[in-house]
Structure 1
C-alpha cells in the first residue's frame, strides 16, 4: 500500500523535499541554546553538533568540496572504514561552535540547491552519491533517508519531536520498505510459509507486507503491497500471518538502529517469536 502522504516522485519535488529537511536542521540549530549542541544523541560518540557536522561534511563533499585532511583518533565508536570516513568531517569541525556549523550548513545548502535545480539536470542524470555515482533521484532519496534520520536524532536529543509527516519522512518510509523483504527472510530468518505485515500507523501511514517463500533452497522475501493481512490473496497459503503495528517514529528509529524493540511501542498480532525476530533484525540503515 502506498504511503500517505505520498513521497514526491519527480525530480523537482525531490529537490524541494531535500531542501526542506536540510532547512529543518538549520532552523533547529538557529533556535538552540549553546549547550544544546553538546547534548548526546543516539549516534554513538556523537553530540548534536557532531550530527550536524556530519550532515554538513557529506553534503559539502557531494557538492565538490575536498575531504578535510585531518587525523582521526581511534575513537571507540569507530568500528570500520565507513566509520572512519564519516568521522573526517566531524573531526574537522570538532573545535567549531554549533553556530558556526549551522552557518556552514546554510551555505552548503545554497550550493547544493544551485546544483540540483540546474536546468539540465534530470531524474536520470548521473551525479555523485554517497556510495558512488547514481541517478539524481536515487541520490536524493538516499540523502533524505540519512538527513531525515539525523534530524530525528537531533530532535530526540533536544526534546523537540516533529517533522514526522513531511515529504522527507515519506521518502524515508518508502526507502526503508525496500529493505524489509531481506530483513524478514534473511536477517530475521523467518521460515517459508510465513507472512509478516508491518502497519505504519502515522503520521506517515502505510502497510508493508512480506511473504517468505523458498527459492532454490533458500528463503526469499516477496513484497506485498495491498489488502488486509487476513484476506490478501498474496497471503493465501501462508502457514502464519504476523502483524506488527507501530508509529512512523518507531519504525524509523528501529530501522535506523537507534532503538531496540523494547524501547518502542509495537502492537503484535500473530506469532510472537516471528515478531521478536523481525523487530530484532529490523535495522537497515545508520
Structure 2
C-alpha cells in the first residue's frame, strides 16, 4: 500500500521539501523564548538551541564552509571523532543567544537554495554529502530526514507537536519502508517463514510488509510485500502485525527513546515484534 501523502522523488519536489523542512526549524526557533532554547531535548546533551546549531553547522559545511576549529570538551555524548566534529558545530554557538543562531540558519538556507537552484543540477549530479560525495537526490533525502528528525526533537521538547504530515515525514517513512527487508531479515534476525507487517495509522498512512525467505547462499532474505508486483498474499507464513502511528514509528526509527516510550499494538508473535522494533533505528 503506497504511503499517503506520498514522498517526492523528483528533484524539484525534493528541493521544495528540503526548503520546507529547514524553514520549519526556523519558524519554531522564531517562536522560542530564551527559556525555550535552553530546554533539554531527547538527544543526549543537546538543548533546543543546540539542535538548531547542529542544523546550521551541517548546512553551512555542506555549502562550502570549513569545519570550525574549536576545542570540544569530553562530553558524555561525544564518543567518536565523528561525534567530536559534529559537536564542534554546536560548541561554536554555545554562547550565542538562540535568536542569533536562528538568524544564521536563515542566511544559510538562502545560500543553500541558491546552490540547489542551479539549472545544471540533476538527481544524479555528484555533490558534497555528510558521508562524502554522492548523488544530489540521495544527499537531499538524507538531509531532509536528518533536519526533520531534529525538528521533531525540538517539537517534543517544547510540547508543540506538528509536521507529521509534512514532506519530511513522508520521506522518512518512504526510506524506512525501503530499508525494512534488511532490517527484518538481517538486523532483527527473524527466521525464514515469518511475515512482518507494519500498519501505520497516520498522519502519514501506509502498510509495509516483509516475508523472510532463504537466499541462494543460505542467508535470510527479506522480500517486500504490497509492492504491486509480487508476493501480495501473506497468508502462507507466521504473520506478525505491528500497528503504530507515524510519530511512534519515526521516533523509534530515529533511535529516540526506548520501546517503552512509544505506543504500539501487536497481533501475532510478540517476541518477533520486539526484535524488529529494537532493530528499527536507521538514523540517530
The question of 1:284 aligning with 2:272 is answered: no
Contact 1:207 1:226 in 2 (8 A): no
Tell me the distance in 2 between the aligned counterparts of 1:5 and 1:17.
Answer: 13
Partner of 1:265: 263
Secondary structure of 1:235 counterpart: coil
Contact 2:67 2:85 in 1 (8 A): no
Deviations 1:149-189 (A, max 9, x none): 00000000000000100111111111122222222112211
Partner of 2:124: 124
Displacement of 1:259:
2.4
Displacement of 1:92:
1.0
Contact 1:200 1:207 in 2 (8 A): yes
Tell me the distance in 2 between the aligned counterparts of 1:143 and 1:46.
Answer: 19
Contact 2:226 2:232 in 1 (8 A): no
Tell me the distance in 1 between the aligned counterparts of 2:44 and 2:25.
Answer: 19
Contact 2:198 2:243 in 1 (8 A): yes
Partner of 2:146: 146
Displacement of 1:93:
0.9
Name whichever of 216-225 and 87-96 sits farther off: 216-225
Displacement of 1:267:
1.3
Partner of 1:21: 21
Equivalent positions of 1:207-222 (< 5 A) are: 207-215=207-215, 216-222=217-223
Name whichever of 179-188 and 103-112 sits farther off: 179-188
Partner of 1:235: 234
Name whichever of 109-118 and 170-179 sits farther off: 170-179
TM-score, normalising length: structure 1: 0.95
Displacement of 1:226:
4.3
Alignment size in residue pairs: 281
Tell me the distance in 2 between the aligned counterparts of 1:72 and 1:158.
Answer: 27
Partner of 2:55: 55
The runs of 5 or more residues in structure 2 that have no matched partner are none
Equivalent positions of 1:59-70 (< 5 A) are: 59-70=59-70
Displacement of 1:233:
3.5
Displacement of 1:122:
1.2
Contact 1:164 1:204 in 2 (8 A): yes
Partner of 1:166: 166
Secondary structure of 1:183 counterpart: helix
Secondary structure of 2:67 counterpart: coil
Contact 1:261 1:280 in 2 (8 A): yes
Partner of 2:252: 254
The runs of 5 or more residues in structure 1 that have no matched partner are none
Displacement of 1:234:
4.8
Root mean square deviation of aligned Cα: 1.3
Contact 1:129 1:139 in 2 (8 A): yes
Tell me the distance in 2 between the aligned counterparts of 1:86 and 1:190.
Answer: 34
Tell me the distance in 2 between the aligned counterparts of 1:224 and 1:63.
Answer: 39
Equivalent positions of 1:82-93 (< 5 A) are: 82-93=82-93
TM-score, normalising length: structure 2: 0.96
